[in-house]
């Protein structure tokens, strides 16, 4: 039997080496050190091991646990959530990533977070946001995206009255996609029995989604809209979704966000975004599964070409029928092919020395290289999205006008800078909604702007810190000039993160936000689903269909759980239909 361990790049946290994992539920903010809870051991076999506790991974884990699976989630940090986590400084509670939360609606099927929490008997108190975002754009264009769709459309038409028909047509197309999605029971698109069932129940909705699957929002917009500035506004709308312009944003992704902000609305969790992951992790444990913290996965273990477990940085191993990676596709597969080449060389050397014979099992493992074409195609078709420069600040409340919106998008002078590093700024002020996140008389500002890791590599520590301060100061000055006079003098706390920070703490290759198409994509046609070329190994999160964003990764988690449940006997399946559908999907991805 040939067993190979495939490393996953996963640096230590804050200079500490990973400690041995302890099974436990999520503790209170005051007690986040590892604490024993009994339960599984290294010798146990789980139904599924989930690497990472981002929202996608936690949704997959909880959905499986509800179906009766025994799941182990391994998280390298001391709390769950990944980029949907939190941290505290001097009385301020900061969201690690976005504070714009979709998926909390109380109707339809796209309210993924609500459904995931309900599945594990959890409920979170939320605060409705009256607006999604306030745009501050070139040529003095200012647009508020109100919660009520009619108010938003009226505001946009008031800015572009000559494009009234085009505006209604484009956003009407978005609603076609959203309504089709929202009417379906959302499960794995890689499971044929489910697909056939949905098609017979909702044929028009399924055909609608099939029609829009290979299409991008920018192409649809250009069918109805001619004004260059309005098309640039649509680019900004899509940039928030995908960090690329509308021509590169799949129509399905854009529609989910551009419509759910009005259908279910934006709702902020009381206590901060981190309470979502904590609630899901607690619910997972209550359903009889486990989550281990400070559990730094460095290897995926293969036996006879199948993923059977993982190895931690402290040498401990855990085994399962399936392994689900919530890491990026690059982190999951980046070193696998190098290790395969090393394994082949090792076998060849051993043969030359007369030490071993190649068994059928060994050949099967080495031949996995040939089954890896789909992953190679993915990395040929997609590149890593840029990361972010992030600034988390505590400021005196007096610097903000009383009617300040929670979320802002700023691009002051040139549409061409939209996708450039540091060109546009996304700002969230969650204390506008939940004042408990900051000491009395203060607000929190989360500021993000795209940044490439290449700008931060190879710098001496002193130069690195100086560059951080310089980049942050430029962005803060822009906000001071555009929105909040006196902002710099009101700062009481400031922390700056770079792509290196995000790579280190979130274990994301280059700190990337997710995959971007190398060329003009055909919608979501080229995006891989949850299964991989390696038997027993699945991916979940923003490197999978349908991509980035809270709704998208939650959907990915639901889909992954359904496919895994079918493969381990907890859902109905048809092996013959499975094989045919997976071949068809692989072929379709080659068309992208």
Number of other residues whose CB lies within 10 A of the CB of residue 338: 11
User: What pLDDT is stored for residue 348 in this prediction?
Assistant: 43
Tell me, yes or no, whether 229 lies in a domain.
Answer: yes
Contact 568, 320 (CB under 8 A): no
pLDDT level of residue 551 (50, 70, 90 thresholds): confident
Inside any domain, residue 483: no
Residues 250 and 290 in one domain: no
Residues 248 and 280 in one domain: no
CATH number at residue 59: 3.50.50.60
Average pLDDT over residues 292-308: 91
Residues 156 and 115 in one domain: no
Q: Are residues 284 and 237 in the same domain?
A: no
Q: Would residue 470 count as lying in a domain?
A: no
Per the CB < 8 A criterion, the answer to whether 54 and 553 are in contact is yes
Asked if residue 41 has pLDDT above 60, the reply is: no
Same domain, 341 and 248: no
User: Residue 160 pLDDT more than 80?
Assistant: yes
| 390 in any annotated domain | no
Report if residue 458 sits inside a domain. no
Whether the bond between 393 and the residue before it is cis, its omega within 30 degrees of 0, is no
* Domain boundary pick from 263, 279, 302: 263
Looking at the structure, do residues 80 and 172 belong to the same domain, yes or no? no
Residue 415, domain member (yes or no): no
Same-domain pairing of 229 and 331: no
pLDDT band for position 243 (cuts 50, 70, 90): confident
How far apart CA 249 and CA 103 sit, in angstroms, is: 20
Give the containing element (helix H, strand E) for 276. Answer: helix 274-286
Is there a contact between 509 and 395 (Cβ–Cβ < 8 Å)?
no
Say if residue 169's pLDDT is above 50: yes
Binned at pLDDT 50, 70 and 90, residue 43 comes out as low
In a domain, 69, yes or no: yes
Asked if residue 232 and residue 163 are part of one domain, the reply reads yes
Q: Would the pLDDT of 519 be above 90? A: no
Residues 253 and 277 in one domain: no
Residue 334 confidence (pLDDT)? 57
User: CA 333: distance to chain centroid?
Assistant: 17
pLDDT-derived band at 235, boundaries 50, 70, 90? very high
Q: What is the mean pLDDT of residues 156-167?
A: 98
- The answer to the question of residue 490 being in a domain is no
pLDDT band at 349 (very low <50, low <70, confident <90, very high): very low
Task: Quote the number of domains for the chain.
Answer: 2
- The rounded mean pLDDT for the chain is 85
Q: What is the mean pLDDT of residues 452-475?
A: 94
Check pLDDT > 90 for residue 66: yes
Same-domain status, 526 and 379: yes
Beta bridge partner(s), residue 300: 6, 310
Q: Are residues 118 and 188 in the same domain?
A: no
> Where among 214, 235, 263 does a domain terminate?
263
Other Cβ atoms less than 10 A from the Cβ of 488: the count is 15
Domain with 66 in it = 43-87+97-125+271-347+373-383+509-591
Helix (H, G, I), strand (E, B) or coil at 295: coil
pLDDT digits (tens, 9 = 90+) for 352-387: 444 433 334 444 444 455 446 766 777 777 888 888
Please check the confidence at residue 263 and state whether its pLDDT lies above 80.
yes
Q: Is the pLDDT of residue 556 over 90?
A: yes
In a shared domain, residues 153 and 259: yes
Tally of CB atoms within 10 A around 579: 11
Residue finishing a domain among 216, 240, 263 = 263
Beta bridge partners of 579: none
User: What pLDDT was estimated at residue 153?
Assistant: 98
Measure the CA–CA gap between 243 and 402, rounded to whole angstroms: 30
- Cα 303 to Cα 357: distance, rounded to the nearest angstrom: 17
CA distance readout (Å), 150 to 113, 142, 145, 154: 25, 17, 10, 6
């Amino acid at each position: 039997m040939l067993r190979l361990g495939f490393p996953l790049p996963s640096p230590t946290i804050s200079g500490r080496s990973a400690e041995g994992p302890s099974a436990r539920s999520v503790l209170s903010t005051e007690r986040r050190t590892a604490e024993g809870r009994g339960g599984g051991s290294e010798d146990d076999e789980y139904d599924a091991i989930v690497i990472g506790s981002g929202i996608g991974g936690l949704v997959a884990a909880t959905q499986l646990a509800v179906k009766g699976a025994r799941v182990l989630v391994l998280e390298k940090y001391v709390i769950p959530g990944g980029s949907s986590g939190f941290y505290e400084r001097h009385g301020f509670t900061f969201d690690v990533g976005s504070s714009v939360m979709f998926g909390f609606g109380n109707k339809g099927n796209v309210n993924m977070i609500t459904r995931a929490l309900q599945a594990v008997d959890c409920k979170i108190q939320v605060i409705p946001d009256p607006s999604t975002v306030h745009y501050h754009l070139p040529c003095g264009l200012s647009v508020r995206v109100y919660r009520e769709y009619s108010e938003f459309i009226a505001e946009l038409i008031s800015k572009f009255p000559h494009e009234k028909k085009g505006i209604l047509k484009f956003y009407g197309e978005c609603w076609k996609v959203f309504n089709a999605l929202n009417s379906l029971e959302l499960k794995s698109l890689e499971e044929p029995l489910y697909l056939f069932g949905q098609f017979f129940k909702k044929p028009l909705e399924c055909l609608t989604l099939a029609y829009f699957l290979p299409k991008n929002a920018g192409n649809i917009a250009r069918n109805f809209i001619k004004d260059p500035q309005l098309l640039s506004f649509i680019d900004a709308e899509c940039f928030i979704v995908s960090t690329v312009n509308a021509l590169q944003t799949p129509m399905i992704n854009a529609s989910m966000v551009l419509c759910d902000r009005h259908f279910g609305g934006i709702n902020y969790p009381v206590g901060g975004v981190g309470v979502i992951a904590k609630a899901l992790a607690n619910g997972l444990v209550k359903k009889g599964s486990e989550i281990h913290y400070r559990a730094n996965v460095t290897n995926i273990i293969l036996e006879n070409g199948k993923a059977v477990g993982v190895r931690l940085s402290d040498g401990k191993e855990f085994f399962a029928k399936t392994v689900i990676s919530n890491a990026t596709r690059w982190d999951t597969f980046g070193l696998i092919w190098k290790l395969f080449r090393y394994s082949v060389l090792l076998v060849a050397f051993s043969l030359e020395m007369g030490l071993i014979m190649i068994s059928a099992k060994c050949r099967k493992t080495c031949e996995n290289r040939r089954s890896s074409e789909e992953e190679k195609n993915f990395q040929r078709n997609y590149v890593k999205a840029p990361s972010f420069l992030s600034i988390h600040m505590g400021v005196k409340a007096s610097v903000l006008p009383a009617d300040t919106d929670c979320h802002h998008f700023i691009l002051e002078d040139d549409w061409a800078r939209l996708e450039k590093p540091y060109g546009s700024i996304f700002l969230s002020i969650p204390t506008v909604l939940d004042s408990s996140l900051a000491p009395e008389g203060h607000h929190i500002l989360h500021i993000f702007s795209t940044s490439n890791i290449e700008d931060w590599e190879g710098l001496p520590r002193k130069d690195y810190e100086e560059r951080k301060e310089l980049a942050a100061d430029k962005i803060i000055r822009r906000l001071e000039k555009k929105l909040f006079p006196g902002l710099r003098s009101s700062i009481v706390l400031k922390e700056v993160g770079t792509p290196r920070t995000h790579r280190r703490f979130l274990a994301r290759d280059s700190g990337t936000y997710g995959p971007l198409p190398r060329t003009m994509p055909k919608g979501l046609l080229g995006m891989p689903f949850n299964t991989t070329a390696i038997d027993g190994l699945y991916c979940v999160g923003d490197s999978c269909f349908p991509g980035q964003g809270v709704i998208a990764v939650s959907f990915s988690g639901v889909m992954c759980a359904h496919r895994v449940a079918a493969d381990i006997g907890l859902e109905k399946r048809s092996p013959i239909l499975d094989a045919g559908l997976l071949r068809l999907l692989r072929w379709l991805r080659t068309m992208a």
